[in-house]
Structure 1
Amino acid sequence: MIQYDFIVIGSGPAGRRAAIQAAKLGSKVLVVEKGTRVGGVSVHTGTIPSKTLRETALNLTGWRERGFYGRAYRVKAEISSEDLRRRLLITLDHEVEVLEHQFSRNRVNHIRGLAHFVDRNTLEIEKSDGEMMQVRGTAILLSIGTKPFRPPNIPFDHDKIIDSDELLEIKDIPRSMIVVGAGVIGIEYATIYSALDTAVTVVEPRTTMLDFIDREIVDDFTYQLRDRNVKLLFGQSADKIEREPNGRCKVTLSNGRTVTAEMVLYAAGRMGATAALKLENAGLTADARGRIKVNPLTFQTDVPNIYAAGDVVGFPSLASTAMEQGRIAARHAIGVPTQEPPQFFPYGIYAVPEISTCGLTEEEVKDRHIAYECGIARFRETSRGHIMGLDNGMLKMIFSMKTRRLLGVHIVGEGATELIHIGQAVLNLKGTVDYFVENTFNYPTLAEAYKIAGLDAWNRMGEAAPEQQEAEQETQQEAAQ
């Protein structure tokens, strides 16, 4: 039996970042991956495939140029699933190659196989060739990710009634699609296929979608979807899904209404992939959705030498936050000091259009009874937005009236997930509205929207009082130190 300092189960964002961090600290590290190639859900069925599909769809359809050339404009007249898959495979090969090289140069050992606990320090691994082996780890990290939630009453057939993993393997782009679930994954795929000119209907039992996003941003996003004829059926659950004799799919809603389409994508939640781990042997349990409870600062489970990170621990379930969670867990497990992560991190939704947010929403600011003011910029107000032919898109910032500090930044539109990082930096450095007013932004850029939104808020807030200016200077000095 081989002894390791640190064993990682799963090679997704959390697992690979943790493994490399531990190896750089001089630990003997093993990564166990059940998939045929390293990378985990993020590389093979989640983050990278969906974002590659989105980029391919926008490029081949000419979506970004339709503001100039009209809605009928297309780069490629006939777009097939093979067109989408070709670019996806190139991207995945590159991601795997980079990851394998990172493991190699950092001396991270890697085994392909399925692991489960024997006890809190021992794992049994069924290797891909059928051989069984056991390994021991001083510390163990669970970064096994999630899988689509598949209720037993849904007749998945791997063809027309599918989950989000199977969507990547479809043979033809459907002319119509029903998406069950208006969470992040459902909305991303719904809008991507809408951009491919698929007629999309979204079914969601809640009366709203994306509840953690600022309502004004969601309202603007919703308007854009309805404007391009995406049907949003809120407050109605999918009680029954079935195939009709003509091959179409029929969904019966809770209010008795029926809707039909060529394909149904069921995207109502995900489950932690913990079923095969035999957690009970290590003294651990998972919740009803397969998630594992951890200390949010160290990512330790209830068993001190076992850690968990990434989607398996629940919200926010982002590749970016998973990487940081894995790095922090590895450092804590090895006994190296860790710093508490910054208060605010960006959240990106790669829909069409993109949404990105960081900090407090207007609803959260109201709940905390903070006196505030908002500044808004429309992308069409910027010269770069006009050059790009953007009819939509907005940036919203929220400021404290008392301290003038930025409390939240929220963006919907082209490049939102890139633009958000300016706001993120100002938030975590405790910057104020005056930063946006007094600083120069490249022209013409979409980032100029920060200047416009800052001036919009400043015009309502007015000049800072002398005591506010002194407080701001003190805040800036503290941030510099």
Structure 2
Amino acid sequence: MHNKFDVFIIGSGPGGEGAAMTCAKQGLKVAVCDEFSLVGGSNTHKGTIPSKALRHASQILMDNKKLQYATYQDLLVQTRSVINAQVELRTSFYLRNDVELIIGRASFIDDHTVEVTEPSGLKKKYHADNFIIATGSRPYHPPDVDFSHPRIVDSDKLLKIPDNPKTISIYGAGVIGCEYASIFRGLSIKVNLINTRHQLLSFLDDEIIDALAYHLRENGVLIRHNEEYEKVEADETGVTIFLKSNKQIRSEYLLWAQGRTGNSDKMGLEKLGIETDSRGSIPVNEFYQTKIPNIYAVGDVIGFPNLASASYDQGRFAARHLTLGETSTLRSTDIPTGIYTIPEISSIGLTEKELTAKKIPYEVGHSFFRHLARAQITGRTVGMLKILFHRETFQILGIHCFGYGASEIIHIGQAIMSQPGEGNTIKYFTTTTFNYPTMAEAYRVAALNGLNRVELSILHEKKSKK
């Protein structure tokens, strides 16, 4: 066991892994420290991977109309096998690249030294030229809600409940709340989705928001908008949430899904003069450096966009800045949103609201999945693809997709949007031959639909001038 490294990374989730692999490939001596003995961070054990595995199992049951034969515990068993496979794979990455894994909680002593408290209580000091903090985030807990009660759970504890609930209330209708509402409804569990805002996922395009709300309601989710809790009371059989509107909602479990907090506390950052915001996020510059240049931070612990995909890339970019002095950075506008509701949602670029506010002349191209041969063959006819493009230059400004496979379909449009200059044009989809039948064909249909609108408008202008 060595105690001097070129780079010491705190956290083994996507951000830590991306950083560790990049530094190791450059021949640096790298250590990764994590409190938990199994690598992967919250992404693997509590967040992205478990919820998507649960969602996939729920989707299959819905497709095969076998909901009455499955329980939440059945789904958890399938989920654990996926988690175990991920841990095995990710551990092999570290071993193969000679990255030293250290189990324990790290706290800074100075800008080149951390003290790690091992599970046994033993403390060891490690020195490094550079540090990358990738400690992730945890569900936010308001102080007046008793999370020690077994019937009040967050997205971490949800994977450990011992029974098969028949009713659940979800407080918070963000991405996590909406995803779990879909999963539980897929198991025929009664769901109350309590939203503190006036609509679901307001950062999405309005048409997509409406479609999501419609399908959640169609599947039996009871959505309550513009509600805030007054207090929460739990007993042996369930939880009552008292709302400020004088409503009382009773269910067997309450899932609290209202925000997350960066895991930046108890790390000795205050000794270094690194201050965090009210949600525990560490401020960084465009290269992911904190105010101490040799200490970087990436992933959920720096806040927005709080996505596993972005965290991994941030880890890589930080590592390449550290090792090679590269100044590439990750623009949040280039990151697609993937929301794994049933059906799923994905988008990239601007929404109609944003384009209207900026007074950008745009047109819309639609393709509805029910009109695509591939969707008719597979029976997955719910959904649509929407392309927003500039009326004059035909530059693609935003892509919004709702339906089965949306998070895969979006990448085709993303690739065209990322082309420089005149390479980014909706006309690409009308001059390119797609395999038939495929879901990718939605791009051709949507592009023709949008361009027809523009041509009709031009013809009308010409006629009116005559």
What TM bracket, shorter-length normalisation? Answer: over 0.9
| RMSD between superposed Cα atoms in Å | 1.7
Name the residue aligned to 1:35.
36
Tell me the distance in 1 between the aligned counterparts of 2:375 and 2:33: 47
Output the CA distance in 1 between the equivalents of 2:172 and 2:427: 41
Structure 1 residues 328 and 463, CA gap change in structure 2 (3 angstroms): farther
In structure 2, the residue matched to 1:337 is 326
When normalised by structure 2's length, the TM-score is: 0.94
Q: Does structure 1 retain, via aligned residues, the 8 Å contact 2:182–2:341?
A: yes
Deviation above 4 Å: which 4+ runs of structure 1? none
Using the TM superposition, give the Cα deviation of residue 463 of structure 1 relative to its aligned residue in structure 2, in angstroms.
Answer: 9.6
Structure 1 position 195, deviation (Å): 1.0
1:269 counterpart (259, 270, 278): 259
Judge conservation of contact 1:156–1:162 (CA < 8 Å) in 2.
yes
Q: Which residue of 2 aligns with 1:451?
A: 444
TM-aligned CA deviation for residue 4 of structure 1: 1.1
For residue 156 of structure 2, the aligned residue among 149, 162, 165 is 165
Give 1:341 deviation, angstroms.
3.8
Q: Distance in 2 between matches of 1:104 and 1:180?
A: 41
How far apart are residue 81 of structure 1 and its match? 3.2
Structure 1 residues 464 and 331: alpha-carbon distance in aligned structure 2, compared to 1, 3 A threshold? farther
- Contact (CA 8 Å) 1:163, 1:265: kept in 2 or not? yes
Counterpart of 1:96 (choices 76, 87, 90) is 87
Check if 1:185 corresponds to 2:188: no
1:113 aligns with 2:118: no
In the aligned structure 1, how far is the partner of 2:44 from the partner of 2:426?
A: 39
Q: What corresponds to 1:316 in structure 2?
A: 305
What is the number of equivalent residue pairs in this alignment? 453
- Could you list the runs of 5+ residues in structure 1 that have no partner in the other structure? 66-72, 466-481
Amino acid at match of 2:200: M
Deviation for aligned residue 1:440: 1.4
Q: Which residue among 206, 223, 228 is the counterpart of 2:214? A: 223
**Relative to 1, partners in 2 of residues 1:77 and 1:235: Cα closer, same or farther, differing over 3 Å?**
closer
Q: Is the 8 A contact 1:310 1:317 kept in 2?
A: yes
CA contact (8 A) 1:117 1:278 kept: yes
Name the SS of the counterpart of 1:275 in structure 2.
coil
Q: Could you tell me how far 1:287 is from its partner in structure 2?
A: 0.9
- 1:424 counterpart residue number: 414
**Letter in structure 1 aligned against 2:313:** E
- What whole-Å deviation, never above 9, does each CA across 1:135-172 have from its counterpart, x for those lacking one? 11111011000011111211224522111101111122
2:71·2:187 contact (CA, 8 Å) conserved in 1? no
Q: Deviations over 1:107-142 (max 9, x none)?
A: 111100100010111100012232211111111011
Partner letter of residue 231 of structure 1? L
- Relative to 1, partners in 2 of residues 1:463 and 1:26: Cα closer, same or farther, differing over 3 Å? farther
Q: Could you say which residue in structure 2 is the equivalent of 1:202?
A: 193
Q: How far apart in 2 are the matches of 1:130 and 1:90?
A: 31
Deviation, 1:340, is: 3.5
SS at match of 1:276: coil
Q: Secondary structure at the match of 1:38?
A: coil
- Give the residue type in structure 2 aligned to 1:46: G
Asked if the contact 1:292–1:308 (Cα under 8 Å) also holds between the matched residues in 2, the reply is: yes
- Please list, as runs of the form range in 1=range in 2, the aligned pairs for 1:325-404 lying within 5 A after superposition: 325-341=314-330, 344-404=334-394
The 1:166–1:441 alpha-carbon spacing in structure 2 relative to 1, beyond 3 Å, is same
Quick check: 1:358–1:410 contact (8 Å CA) kept in 2? Answer: yes
Which residue of 2 is the match for residue 437 of structure 1? Answer: 430
Q: Is the 8 A contact 2:153 2:256 kept in 1?
A: yes
Deviations 1:73-115 (A, max 9, x none): 21x6421233112212211111111111111111111100100
Mapped to 2, the partners of 1:314 and 1:157 lie a distance apart of: 26
Gaps of 5+ in 2: 459-466
Query: What does residue 461 of structure 2 align with?
Result: none
Per-residue deviation, residues 402-458 of structure 1 (Å, max 9, x unmatched): 210111100111000010100110111142121111111121111111111111101
Q: Confirm or deny that 1:235 pairs with 2:226.
A: yes
Q: C-alpha separation between the residues in 2 aligned to 1:48 and 1:229?
A: 25
Asked whether the 8 Å contact 2:396–2:424 carries over to 1, the reply is: yes
Amino acid at match of 2:24: A
TM-score by length of 1: 0.91
Q: Is the 8 A contact 1:203 1:238 kept in 2?
A: no
| Partner Cα separation in structure 2 for residue 253 and residue 316 of structure 1 | 30
1:348: how far off?
A: 0.4
| 1:297-340 per-position Cα deviation (integer Å, ceiling 9, x unaligned) | 31111111111100111111111111110001111112342434
**Is the Cα–Cα contact under 8 Å of residues 430 and 444 in structure 2 kept in the other structure?**
yes
SS at match of 1:164: coil
In structure 2, what is the Cα distance between the partners aligned to 1:313 and 1:96?
Answer: 24
**Which residue is equivalent to 1:8?**
9
Give the Å deviation of 1:464. Answer: 12
One-letter amino acid of the counterpart of residue 447, structure 1:
A
Asked whether the 8 Å contact 2:115–2:126 carries over to 1, the reply is yes
Partner of 1:69: none
* Contact 1:81-1:170 at 8 Å conserved across structures: no
* Preserved CA contact (<8 Å) 1:120 1:281: no
Q: Tell me the equivalent position of 1:283.
A: 273
Q: Work out whether 1:85 is the aligned partner of 2:76.
A: yes
2:47 aligned partner = 46
| Partners of 1:363 and 1:464 in 2: CA distance | 22
Q: Is the 8 A contact 2:314 2:330 kept in 1?
A: no
1:40-79 matches, within 5 Å, as 40-59=41-60, 61=61, 63-65=62-64, 73-74=65-66, 77-79=68-70
- Residue identity over aligned pairs, in percent, reads 40
Partners of 1:135 and 1:243 lie apart in 2 by: 45
Query: Shift of residue 220 of structure 1?
Result: 1.1
CA contact (8 A) 2:168 2:255 kept: yes
